Structures are given as structure tokens and as C-alpha cells.
């Protein structure tokens, strides 16, 4: 029996730009078949997000992550997880060997899943929460306008 391929994750919020959402969705789709491919796509998604939403100066992903960490603009728990994604992404993009066995270290499924979790947290910080706050301010400004009061600054 053949079943269509599906994703067992929440849908991408509509506030996330289409190009970033596309990479994220692809990372979700390949997660079960190839955690390494999923982590690599997640890494690509993270880099695009940091450049467009966090305003980091383009470079390699490690330096871009360092910029966002040094900016202290993220909650500590999310910042620590972004730093973890840097290491997971390195396993996906570069053949790192175990110093004990000499084998190339794989990306484990739970590490690739963690990458997706971190991206979802960043979607919330950079896209969803600002959109919700903007909508609330807009509603309050409309109410102030109706009361002939000046808008919020």
C-alpha cells in the first residue's frame, strides 16, 4: 500500500516569507529519510532567516550565528539552541570524524528534529509575535482615531 508523504509538524505560520517557508517545509519532508539532508536544509533556512530578519552581515553561518548571539536580541533559551544548531549543521555540511572511532559522525534524527524546533522558535520571534503586536497596535490606533485622540508613537 502506498501512502502520500506527509509532515507531522505544525504548518508554517503565514507570516513567514515564502522562500524561507519553502526550505523549512522541504527540511520537514526529508526528515525521516535523511536527517542529514533535513539538517542541511534547516541550516540553509536559518542562514536566510538570520540575514533577512535578524539583519546579520553575510558571511559563513557560524559567523552569522555569532553576530546574532552577540547582539543579545534573542531570549537566552533560544540563543543557546541556535548555537546548538550551528554544531548540528556542521555535522550535516562537513564530514566530522569521531576522535574515538574515526567514523564520520552522522546527524541523528532527534538532532535534525531539534533544528526544526529551533526554526519554529525563530519564526515566532521574528515573524509571528511582531505581526501580532502590529495588529494590536493598529486596532488600538483605530480606536484612538475614532475617539479623536493622537495615535500611539
Residue extents of the structural domains in the chain: 18-146
What residues contact 124, with CB distance under 8 A and at least 6 apart?
Answer: 13
Is it true that domain 18-146 has CATH number 1.20.120?
yes
**How do residues 137-148 score in pLDDT, each as one tens digit?**
999 999 999 999
- Residue 18: name the closest of 30, 26, 8 by CA: 26
Cell of 24: 523549512
Cell of 76: 537566552
pLDDT value, residue 95:
58
pLDDT value, residue 29:
94
Phi/psi of residue 25, each to 5°?
-60, -40
Phi/psi of residue 54, each to 5°?
-90, -10
Alpha carbons within 13 angstroms on the beta-carbon side of residue 135 total 7
pLDDT confidence of 7, banded at 50, 70, 90? low
pLDDT value, residue 71:
96
On whether the CB atoms of residues 67 and 57 are closer than 8 A, the answer is yes
Amino acid at each position: 500500500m502506498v501512502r502520500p508523504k506527509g509532515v507531522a509538524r505544525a504548518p508554517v505560520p503565514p507570516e513567514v516569507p515564502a522562500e524561507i517557508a519553502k526550505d523549512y517545509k522541504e527540511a520537514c519532508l526529508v526528515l525521516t529519510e535523511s536527517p542529514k539532508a533535513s539538517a542541511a536544509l534547516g541550516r540553509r533556512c536559518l542562514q536566510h532567516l538570520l540575514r533577512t530578519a535578524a539583519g546579520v552581515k553575510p558571511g559563513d553561518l557560524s559567523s552569522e550565528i555569532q553576530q546574532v548571539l552577540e547582539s543579545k536580541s534573542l531570549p537566552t533559551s533560544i540563543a543557546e539552541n541556535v548555537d546548538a544548531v550551528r554544531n548540528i549543521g556542521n555535522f550535516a555540511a562537513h564530514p566530522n570524524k569521531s576522535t574515538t572511532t574515526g567514523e564520520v559522525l552522522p546527524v541523528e534524527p532527534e538532532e535534525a528534529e531539534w533544528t526544526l524546533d529551533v526554526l519554529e522558535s525563530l519564526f515566532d520571534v521574528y515573524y509571528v509575535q511582531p505581526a501580532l503586536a502590529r495588529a494590536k497596535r493598529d486596532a488600538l490606533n483605530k480606536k484612538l482615531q475614532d475617539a479623536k485622540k493622537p495615535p500611539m508613537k
